[in-house]
């Protein structure tokens, strides 16, 4: 696996663990792993189908850390609303 930045995780074992965590409904993060100066946070969206969906936000790194608690809450609320509308919860 090719590293895009010095923060890119190229360990297949680590990436599998991170994917498993995200599939359990937990947050996934990109902390300058693909592009320096850009971070992202994402949550999976459950549906009644077997399709995979996610809701994600990305922004400049300098704003990301200070806003992380707000981003977590906003994504979690959006996740719940989307899943409720989809008939999952």
pLDDT value at position 77?
97
How is residue 14 written in tokens?
């680590």
Average pLDDT over residues 28-56: 92
User: Given this model, what pLDDT does residue 75 score?
Assistant: 96
What domains sit in the chain, N to C, each tagged with a CATH number? 12-85 (3.30.450.40)
pLDDT tens-digit series, residues 4-30: 999 888 888 988 888 888 777 789 999
Q: What is the mean pLDDT of the chain?
A: 90
| pLDDT for the residue numbered 79 | 95
Cβ neighbours of residue 72 closer than 8 Å, sequence gap 6 or more: 27, 41
What's the whole-model pTM score? 0.82
The whole-number pLDDT of residue 70 equals 96
Least confident of 18-22, 47-51, 60-64: 18-22
What beta strand segments (E) does the chain contain?
28-31, 38-45, 53-60
Per-residue pLDDT at 43 exceeds 90: yes
């Amino acid at each position: 696996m090719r590293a895009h930045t010095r923060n890119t995780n190229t360990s297949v074992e680590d990436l599998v663990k991170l994917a498993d965590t995200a599939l359990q409904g937990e947050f996934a993060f990109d902390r300058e792993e693909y592009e320096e100066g850009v971070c992202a946070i994402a949550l999976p969206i459950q549906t009644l189908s077997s399709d995979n969906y996610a809701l994600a936000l990305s922004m400049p790194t300098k704003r990301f850390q200070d806003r992380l608690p707000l981003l977590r809450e906003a994504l979690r609320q959006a996740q719940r609303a989307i899943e409720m509308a989809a008939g999952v919860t």
